[in-house]
Each structure stands twice: as structure tokens, then as C-alpha cells.
Structure 1
Amino acid sequence: MKLTKTLMATSALTIAAAGMSFADGHMASEMTIVSWGGAYSASQQNAYHDPYSANTGTKIINDESSPEAVAKLRAMKEAGNVTWDLVDVEAADAIRLCDEGLAMEYDPDELLAAAPDGTSASDDFGDMIVSDCFIPQIVFSTTFGYRTDMVPAGTEAPTGACDVFDLEKYPGKRALNKQPIANMEWALICDGVAYEDVYDTLETDEGQQKALDKLATIKDQTIWWSAAAEPIQLLADGEVFMASSYNGRLFSAIVEQSQPIGMAWDWQMFDLDGWVIPAGLPDDRLARVKDYVMFATDTQRLADQAKYISYGPARMSSAPLVGQHATLGIDMGPHMPTDPANAENTFVNNYSWWADYRDDLDAKFQAWLTQ
């Protein structure tokens, strides 16, 4: 933390003297940061972008292309023109980008600040560093929201993923992400496959078909979403009864917007999200990115993001600093996916497995959707 504050102060003093970037011209004066938009990007803006820009004078350009990050970075490499400086992706996509040489490998103890007590970044982030290119930021989950005013009279509210498959008990439209991740795992779990056997089952053609057959039971009642804002809007408009979504988006709709939506946590899908730095950036842009990442991943900054959205910080030293919502004053702990009351049955995404199988299963899933 002391090192981070020293770097921030040095940057700010130099900016004030130079009026732009570092006086020696080795650090770019602007950067393009790619993320997911909505409540999540707003939390990054408040916790990271605005303070960093205030300290350094750097112009930050926001791009909301994270859902297409892998395809777009592949295209940029092919064209020889990488226009992004820092990209927010899920862990499995970070592994793919690293394996393909599209993301830069880094040394955590050089790029990231140590914890306030001196614990190294590599120890503080620990197992969250799932790839040589992945800079962990948050723990989040994909789970389900439902319309509280559409629960049939005399019926208990949904509790989790398997209720989405029960059209008799909970009639109405559903909304699911237009990709295989989470949907395939939920389908198998809710069709009786043991948790520990899910990925072994998905490695076989028979297992993949089993998952698709289970999803087929609700296919004609499902609206498939691509952008993270869509399921929240579908729920808000009452167009669907249940929808998969990111827990932070649901928190924003329920707590900040007072929508008639409830959370169904059972079999929430735990996942990691963080930064990758595109490979091959020019020196001035890379220097700016490194300066930003040192700032934005320190212990206090990761805890600060949790003031704005219910995602858990990815480094251990940040967790005790998570407090209240920045404007509502409510305790954020009970709204985190990791809270014991929310995490009785959780499914942890196998990032490495999806990095290996994602392209093939994407193609199979999209073909199934058109049938």
C-alpha cells in the first residue's frame, strides 16, 4: 500500500508539472479499458477509473466489448492493430487468450502491489491467479432472479437453478445466457448427475447430449440473452418469470432500483473475473497500463469496488475491508455470493476445462439453438 501511494503521488506530481503524461513521455496520456457495462462498469468507474484519472490526468475510454473479447482480440492480432489497453474477462477466457499468445504474461510480485502487511501479491491473491496472464479482480456468481409477484399463489418461491426446469410448478418464460457455460452444468445437475461427475460427463458426446436434452425441456419457453443488461430488463418488464444473471446485476435491480425481484442462490455458478493485458502493446501504452493496474488492484481499491456492487474482492487482504454500500449504507457482506447463507450449494466453474472445450461446445450449442 505504501508503495502504491508513493507511485500515485509521484504520478500526480509529474502530471501536474508536465500537464499531460510523464515528463519523459514514456507513459501514454490515455487508455482504452474494456469491460461489461452496466452496474459492473459503474463500480469500476467509481472505485478505479475516476480516482486514477484524478491522480494522474489520464483519459480513460470505456469500451463494453468484454462479451466478445476473445473474438475481437483474435481479429486485432490478425489485423496487426490492437487498439485495447486493458481487458476485463472471465477466468476461462483469460486462459484461452494466454494460451493463444493474445494476452501478456506477468509476474504478480512485480506488477501488483503487496498487501498492507507486506504479504506478497502472489500470496495474497493465491489460487485466484489461475493463469500466467490473469490479473484477478472479483469473485462473482451467475445465479437466478425471479419475479416475486409472479410466484403462483400458495407456492413457495424458487430457491435455485433446478426450479428453472420446473414449468409445472413455475409456469412462464425463462431467460438464459446464449452460451453453454453454466447452462450445461445446471442441466446435468438438475438431471441427477452428481456434482463431482459433471465435467467428466460433459467430456463425452453422450453427456453433452444429455445436457442439451434437459435444456430442450424448456427451450420453447426460453428467451436467450447475450448482453448482461438483457435478463435484468426482461425481469423488470415482467416478460420472464426467471432469468439467469450475474449476482451483482441482480443486487442492483433489487436493492438499488427496488424491482420486485427475488434471488434464487442454490447452485449459483462461482467464477472469477479480472484483467488481461493484450500482448505486444507499445512501450508508452504498456507503461500506462502497468501504472493503472498497480493502483487498481491494491488491497483498498478492490475492497472499494464492493461498496458499489456485490462482488467479492479477489485478494484475501481486501475481504476484511468490505463494508457498507457507498450510498445506501447497507452492509454488503450478506449480499455477496460467498456469504454462507447464499452458498449452501455452489458450483465452481472449472476454468481450465472450459478453456480446452469452449470453442467446440460453443459451436455445438449454437447449432442446437437453431434446431
Structure 2
Amino acid sequence: MHVSRLLRAMSVCILVAGTHAAYAADSLTVVSYGGQYTASQRVAHYEPFARKTGIEIKSVDYNGGLAELVAQVRSGSVSWDVVDVEMQDLERGCSDGLFERVDLDKLPSGTDGKPAKEDFLDGALHPCGVGSVVWSNVIAVNDPAFAGRTGPQTIDDFFDVAAFPGKRGLPKRPNALLEWALMADGVEPASVYEVLSTPEGLDRAFRKLDTIKDESVFWETGAQMIQLLVDGEVAMSTAYNGRIQGAISDDGKPLRIVWDRQIWNADYYAVVRGSREKAAAEDFVRFATGTEALAAQARVIAYGPIRRSAEALIDPKIAATLPTASVNFQNALAFNAAWWTDHGDVVNERYAAWLAQ
């Protein structure tokens, strides 16, 4: 993301008036994924919270996962206060006692007056965390590969190598991919995980993947995925919407997002069990997941705000590029982190064997 865009966003960010609240804490350590994502959090959440409360936010980057968190909590030497986590890690961490429980009744209402429990998307409120952004697995198309004719518009097109020839980019992990294989094979989004839970359904998904394997190039990171598309090595690829939108908006790349049956996921703020600044950390989570803060973040990065009331505060041109826009979200599938927690080891092993064949 260009620095100029962040600076513009800062000029329209949340204005906080009044005196600083009285807190014992003078700083909080908030852990996230770095890069453009943490930059968006700094502009929309960290700095406005610091202005409001006088509490400095110390930002720490990590690569996800729970290993460091487990070490801190188990040793009783906790140095992190708030962690940005994906649902699968939130589920595991909550079960293992790594996060404080959330008092959902204390979450602020939306700016439209709607209670928090009605304003957040389904699945955004968890006993151990509060959702902040929606990001999606989508299909990205390199439009120059289809010059002079209509390119892919649906998930079915992605799996149709006869009508839409060209290399496909696929991830070296099966998450979201197996779901798309089933949907392209005729399974309705609402039934995907039920079907995938059966041996027959899993076989069906892999048979569908077989139909495009010979036309596929496999990537490990978001950066590799973007490079394959930009260099024309693949005509289309499974992708992360934020990466693709950044390449389109900031770098002018001739890429396009196919929103058909997007598979959406969410990130959550969670307070670390044993934080010495628990009260201030909880206040930060409530602030950062308020309507204004989520809208402010969506203005600087192409992740959807997880509160419905935030969309009204976002420029319509920007809102249209987000996964939560109504036209983009109409047949979306929610990523089932609990399913992957229960079945992931077996499925990952089978997918690795499939890759090696």
C-alpha cells in the first residue's frame, strides 16, 4: 500500500475529543501479522486509541500460530496483551485456556444504534475473541490472458479447462480448495461441509481436483500467487482478496476478482490470558471493533468490516471492492475453522500425497 494512501486515510481517521481516561496502564502490546495489514490497524485502531486514552500501543509482528503464546501463558511470563488471530487459532487457543473470556454485553452498539449482537456478522462474536475484519479466498483472473473474449466469471469456469484454457494457480494447502471443488461439482454452499465430512464427499472433491491438476501451478505464499498472475504464468488463481485488490488499486495490475462463492474468513482480537493490563486490553478490543474503527480500517485495506453498520461510513467506491459488499457476499461460504480443526490432519496428509502423485 502506498504511503500516500495511508496518509490520506489518517486525515479522515477517527477524531477523538476529550481528556484521556484514567488507566493504570501506560502501554499495551498488540500482536499482528505485519505489513499492510498492521499498517491499517495502526492508522485505524492503535493511534486513535492512544489519542483517546494516552496508552501507547507497542506493535509486535508474528507469523500466526500459537507456539509463542503457549510458551508465555504456560510459563506465567506473559508479555503480549492482545493478539490478532484467525478463527482456527482462536478456537484452539480458547480450548487450551490461552485467551480471556469476552463479556459480549459490554461491546458497544453500532453507530446506528443496533446492539452489537445484531450488528456483527454471524460467527464474528466468539467466547474468546471479537471479529474485526472479513477477508476472503477468491478466484483472481489475469484479464490479458483472455483478451478479445469473456474471461471466467464463476467457480465452475475455474474448473472448466475446455472453455477456459490456461494454467491455474493452486495453493499447496487444501483449505478452501476442497470446498470449491465440491461447489464446482454441484454441491450447494450450505451443504459443503456436510458432504466433505463423508468419505464419499472427500473422494468427490479430489476427483474434481484431478480434472485441473495437469493445468495447475502450485504456490506457497501470497507473493508467489501475485507474481504468477502478473507474469502471465497462470491465467487465473485461487487468491486472497486483499492481495489482489492491492495489486489492482495500488499497482495498477490488470487483474480481476471473481466473487462467485467466495469463502470468507475473519480475524479476531483476543486478550491473552494472564495479561497484566487486562482491563486496558479489553477496552482496546472494544474500541478497535467499534463501527468507526472498523470503517476506518476498511478505507486503507481491502478487508470488509465485520459490523454491518460500518458499511454506511465507507465510500461506496471502496465498499464495492470489499468481500462484505452485498453484491459480492450473496452466495459466500463461511470458512468452517472447527471442521478443519477436526479433520485437517487427515486431509492435509491426503492432499500432500495427491500433490506428490
When the two structures are superposed, what TM-score results if normalisation uses the length of structure 2? 0.83
Q: Does 1:298 align with 2:290?
A: yes
Give the counterpart of 1:266 among 246, 260, 266.
260
Which residue in 2 is equivalent to 1:327?
Answer: none
Change in CA separation of 1:157 and 1:351 when aligned onto 2, cut-off 3 Å = same
Note if contact 2:140-2:238 (Cα within 8 Å) is conserved in structure 1.
yes
How far the C-alpha of 1:118 sits from its partner, in A, is 5.3
Note if contact 1:53-1:60 (Cα within 8 Å) is conserved in structure 2.
no
How far the C-alpha of 1:363 sits from its partner, in A, is 3.6
Q: Does 1:350 align with 2:325?
A: no
Which residue in 2 is equivalent to 1:173?
Answer: 167
Q: Residue type matched to 2:351 in 1?
A: F
Q: Residue type matched to 1:65 in 2?
A: N
Q: Does 1:94 align with 2:94?
A: no
Change in CA separation of 1:262 and 1:99 when aligned onto 2, cut-off 3 Å = same
Which residue in 2 is equivalent to 1:244?
Answer: 238
| Equivalenced residues, count | 342
Change in CA separation of 1:169 and 1:300 when aligned onto 2, cut-off 3 Å = same
Which residue in 2 is equivalent to 1:61?
Answer: 59
How far the C-alpha of 1:294 sits from its partner, in A, is 2.7
User: For 1:265-293, what per-residue CA distance to the aligned partner results, in whole angstroms no more than 9, with x for missing partners?
Assistant: 21211222222223233x23x34422322
Note if contact 1:91-1:130 (Cα within 8 Å) is conserved in structure 2.
no
Report the 3-state secondary structure (helix = DSSP H, G, I; strand = E; otherwise coil) of the residue aligned with 2:328.
Answer: coil
Note if contact 2:86-2:266 (Cα within 8 Å) is conserved in structure 1.
yes
Q: Residue type matched to 2:122 in 1?
A: D
Structure-1 separation of matches of 2:58 and 2:262: 33
Structure 1 gaps, min length 5: 15-21, 325-330
Structure-2 separation of matches of 1:85 and 1:105: 13
User: For 1:20-58, what per-residue CA distance to the aligned partner results, in whole angstroms no more than 9, with x for missing partners?
Assistant: xx5xxx4252414122x4443332222122333455351
Which residue in 2 is equivalent to 1:49?
Answer: 46
Q: Residue type matched to 2:272 in 1?
A: P
Q: Residue type matched to 2:135 in 1?
A: F
Structure-2 separation of matches of 1:92 and 1:203: 17
Note if contact 2:190-2:333 (Cα within 8 Å) is conserved in structure 1.
no
Give the counterpart of 1:216 among 194, 201, 210.
210
Change in CA separation of 1:190 and 1:79 when aligned onto 2, cut-off 3 Å = farther
Change in CA separation of 1:254 and 1:369 when aligned onto 2, cut-off 3 Å = same
Which residue in 2 is equivalent to 1:9?
Answer: 19
Structure-2 separation of matches of 1:302 and 1:49: 12
When the two structures are superposed, what TM-score results if normalisation uses the length of structure 1? 0.80
Report the 3-state secondary structure (helix = DSSP H, G, I; strand = E; otherwise coil) of the residue aligned with 1:332.
Answer: helix
Structure-2 separation of matches of 1:246 and 1:345: 17
Report the 3-state secondary structure (helix = DSSP H, G, I; strand = E; otherwise coil) of the residue aligned with 1:127.
Answer: coil
Change in CA separation of 1:9 and 1:173 when aligned onto 2, cut-off 3 Å = farther
Give the counterpart of 2:143 among 144, 148, 154.
148
Which residue in 1 is equivalent to 2:323?
Answer: 337
Task: Give matches, 1:56-205, under 5 Å.
Answer: 56=54, 58-66=56-64, 69-70=65-66, 72-74=68-70, 83-110=79-106, 112-116=107-111, 119-125=114-120, 127-151=122-146, 153-205=147-199
Change in CA separation of 1:299 and 1:194 when aligned onto 2, cut-off 3 Å = closer
Which residue in 1 is equivalent to 2:248?
Answer: 254
Note if contact 1:40-1:248 (Cα within 8 Å) is conserved in structure 2.
no
Note if contact 2:46-2:57 (Cα within 8 Å) is conserved in structure 1.
no
Give the counterpart of 1:29 among 16, 27, 30.
27
